[in-house]
């Protein structure tokens, strides 16, 4: 085997860490950016929303381009675009340029890079080594989860939010030179077929509409508009419109993605080079693995949001303090992914996935028994360790399971579908858990306020009215006495804790559903050549 395969792994993982840290760092820096640009949150939100929309809509296309032109080439292009976007964002004088750099260039670059990265690992490593490579990939993602908020808080406080983008600009030339000079390149890996442009337009626009509808429905309103729909300061739909942009986008996504499926199935029957071969879903590992990935991503994202909401809204932590409390999860992901990779040397990767999903569900269930207003890190630590280790087990090896039976020439498309499932699951997790927490918080807050005999009727009625309008951010009405302020704050804190319990049950059920789905994935058929030397393919 070519020893340069380990250099390839290091280079790919460095770029993956760079991209993983980028979005978490920016999230922590939002308040500072708002002050620097003298702008509003809806305008700045397009930097993050734009990234999600671009990234989610381009993943299938990025995967197919990897198959056509080779993952190595598309990885280089993706990293270059990501670096260019970081440079534009670092030098941006206003929100518009930040959106162009972060939302457009970085989003496209990441969408090309992510499928290519997994395709490179799939082609470069085989047998038990592939499990090790994917465990390292999961460890890097865990490190981004663990240290992103902390790094973002440190850079923003001590230097500038722009420093996070400058770091990317410094790293990109090194990983590009490394990939082009130190890693093997094999000809003939790309399949010389034309890109399905109509299919690309349909899936990109359909995915963009779907991700927007799911992720922004709670913000703009699921039916009636809650606020003006603005695009970088320009009002596209008034809050007085009959319907909000979310259901419009959802309907459009169904139409566009339905047309995409019909077009691709037709092209597949005619042998006319479809963008995505739906016939490949006859592979049970790919089909059930993608479903399991979508559902578990929903539960994982939901769990992380719940913890953040309770720590910040119920325990009144700062974002940096909450990030420090979440460090054990990230560290456990790193450790769990390595242990899971080692276990695959003796057991099938599907078994490791199932064990990991079980550990995640157990960690979430135990969290529901201790999470509350007076919770301590010592109480949460065993829960975080179980969840993080399970995440490391399942996250790494589920990628392995999804891609292991995919032919090398189709690894890019499968990797793009894999990443798209993870993005959709995450978006669904944000939408579902936001609705659950918001709805149950109002329900329990109203019940708590009505049951509190110490509150005067006028204060109670005014506060209940504020609860329906302000949700988690509700405070006592103006003119309330100090003891009434304390009573309202206690009622809201207890309500958020009760809502979190309901949300944790939902997250646990989602992970358990993924566990059930994983039993539909067949174990790998052992062969005598499973660990035999295989030529390295890097695209």
pLDDT score of 219 more than 70: yes
Of 185-194, 481-490, 524-533, the range with the highest mean pLDDT is 481-490
Q: Which residue has the higher pLDDT, 314 or 102?
A: 102
Q: How confident is the model at residue 536 (pLDDT cuts 50, 70, 90)?
A: very low
Burial class (CB in 10 A: 0-12, 13-18, 19+), 239: middle
pLDDT at 516: 95
pLDDT, greater one: 262 or 322: 262
Say what the pLDDT of residue 82 is.
94
Residue 88 confidence (pLDDT) above 90: yes
Determine the distance from the C-alpha atom of residue 78 to the mean position of all C-alpha atoms in its chain, rounded to a whole number: 18
Q: How many CB atoms lie within 10 A of CB 127?
A: 18
Please report which residue ranges of 103-229 form alpha helices under DSSP H. Answer: 107-124, 128-158, 162-182, 197-220
Residue 427: pLDDT band (50, 70, 90) is confident
By the 8 A CB rule, do 65 and 200 touch? no
Average pLDDT over residues 323-351: 86
Write the secondary structure of 258-269 as one string of H (helix), E (strand) and C (coil): HHHHHHHHHHHH
Helix (H) or strand (E) holding 307: helix 284-309
Positive/negative CA dihedral, 168, 169, 171, 173: positive
Mention the CATH class of domain 1-195.
Answer: mainly alpha
Is the pLDDT assigned to residue 2 strictly greater than 70?
Answer: no
Give the pLDDT score at 533: 38
- 72 vs 45, residue with greater confidence: 72
pLDDT band of 534, cuts 50, 70, 90: very low
Q: What percentage of the chain exceeds 90 in pLDDT?
A: 22
Instruction: Report how far residue 214's alpha carbon sits from residue 424's, in angstroms, rounded to the nearest whole number.
Output: 9
Angle between helices 377-403 and 284-309 in degrees, nearest 10: 160
Torsion of CA 390, 391, 392, 394, to 10 degrees: 80
Candidates 247, 230, 248, 231; CA nearest to 239 is: 230
Confidence of residue 43 (pLDDT cuts 50, 70, 90): low
Percent of the chain at pLDDT > 70 equals: 92
128-158 vs 327-343: helix crossing angle, rounded to 10 = 170
List every span in the chain annotated with CATH 1.20.1250.20. Answer: 1-195, 283-524
Measured between alpha carbons, how far is 98 from 85 in angstroms, rounded to an integer?
9
Q: Is the pLDDT of residue 42 over 90?
A: no
Q: What is the pLDDT of residue 27?
A: 67
The 10s digit of each residue's pLDDT in 510-533 is: 999 999 999 998 887 543 333 433
- Specify the higher pLDDT residue, 158 or 363: 363
Q: What is the pLDDT of residues 239-288, one digit of tens each?
A: 778 888 889 999 999 999 999 999 999 988 888 888 888 888 888 889 99
Q: pLDDT by residue (tens digit) across 102-137?
A: 888 998 999 999 899 988 888 888 777 887 888 888
Asked if pLDDT for residue 293 goes beyond 80, the answer is yes
Q: Does domain 283-524 have CATH number 1.20.1250.20?
A: yes
| The predicted structure's pLDDT at residue 237 | 80
| Model pLDDT, residue 532 | 38
The pTM for the full model equals 0.82
**Residue 190 binned pLDDT confidence (cut-offs 50, 70, 90):** low
Tell me the two tokens of residue 283: 């592979």
| Whether the predicted pLDDT of 215 surpasses 70 | yes
Q: Report the pLDDT value the prediction gives residue 136, as an integer from 0 to 100.
A: 85
Segment 478-489 mean pLDDT? 85
What local confidence, expressed as pLDDT, does residue 158 receive?
77
């Amino acid at each position: 085997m070519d020893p340069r395969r380990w250099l390839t792994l290091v280079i790919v993982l460095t770029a993956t860490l760079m991209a993983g840290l980028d979005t978490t760092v920016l999230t922590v820096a939002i308040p500072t950016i708002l002050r620097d640009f003298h702008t509003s949150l809806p305008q700045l939100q397009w930097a993050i929303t734009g990234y999600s929309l671009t990234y989610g809509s381009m993943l299938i296309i990025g995967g197919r381009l990897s198959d056509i032109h080779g993952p190595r080439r598309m990885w280089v292009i993706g990293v270059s675009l990501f670096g260019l976007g970081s440079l534009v964002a670092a030098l941006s004088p206003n929100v518009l340029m930040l959106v162009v750099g972060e939302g457009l260039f970085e989003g496209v670059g990441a969408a090309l890079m992510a499928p290519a990265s997994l395709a490179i690992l799939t082609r470069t490593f085989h047998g038990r080594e592939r499990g090790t490579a994917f465990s390292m990939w999961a460890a890097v993602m865990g490190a981004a989860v663990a240290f992103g908020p902390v790094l973002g808080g440190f850079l923003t406080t001590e230097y500038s939010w722009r420093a996070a983008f400058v770091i990317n600009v410094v790293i990109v030339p090194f990983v590009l030179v490394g990939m082009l000079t130190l890693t093997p390149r094999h000809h003939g890996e790309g399949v010389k077929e034309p890109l399905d442009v109509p299919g690309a337009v349909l899936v990109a626009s359909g995915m963009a509409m779907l991700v927007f509808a799911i992720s922004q429905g709670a913000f703009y309103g699921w039916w009636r508009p809650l606020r003006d729909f603005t695009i970088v300061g320009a009002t596209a739909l008034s809050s007085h419109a009959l319907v909000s942009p979310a259901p419009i986008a959802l309907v459009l996504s169904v139409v566009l993605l339905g047309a995409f499926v019909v077009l691709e199935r037709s092209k597949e029957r005619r042998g006319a080079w479809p963008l995505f071969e739906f016939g490949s879903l006859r592979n049970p590992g790919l089909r059930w693995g993608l479903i399991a990935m979508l559902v578990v991503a929903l539960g994982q994202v939901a769990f992380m949001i719940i913890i953040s909401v309770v720590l910040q809204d119920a325990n009144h932590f700062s974002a940096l303090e909450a990030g420090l409390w979440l460090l054990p999860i990230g560290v456990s992901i790193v450790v769990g992914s390595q242990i899971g990779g080692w276990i695959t040397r003796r057991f099938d990767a599907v078994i490791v996935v199932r064990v990991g999903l079980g550990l995640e569900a157990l960690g979430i269930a135990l969290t529901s028994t201790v999470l509350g207003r007076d919770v301590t890190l010592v109480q949460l630590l065993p829960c975080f360790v179980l969840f993080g280790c399970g995440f490391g087990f399942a996250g790494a090896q589920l990628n392995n399971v999804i891609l292991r039976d995919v032919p090398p020439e189709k690894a890019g498309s499968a990797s793009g579908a894999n990443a798209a499932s993870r993005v959709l699951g995450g978006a669904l997790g944000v939408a579902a858990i936001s609705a659950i927490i918001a709805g149950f918080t109002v329900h329990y807050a109203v019940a708590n306020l009505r049951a509190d005999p110490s509150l005067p009727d006028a204060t109670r009625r005014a506060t209940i009215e504020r609860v329906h309008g302000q949700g988690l951010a509700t405070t006592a009405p103006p003119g309330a006495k100090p003891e009434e302020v304390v009573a309202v704050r206690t009622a809201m804190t207890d309500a958020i804790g009760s809502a979190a319990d309901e949300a944790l049950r939902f997250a646990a059920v989602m992970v358990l559903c993924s566990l059930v789905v994983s039993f539909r994935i067949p174990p790998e058929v052992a062969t005598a050549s499973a660990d035999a030397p295989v030529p390295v393919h890097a695209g």
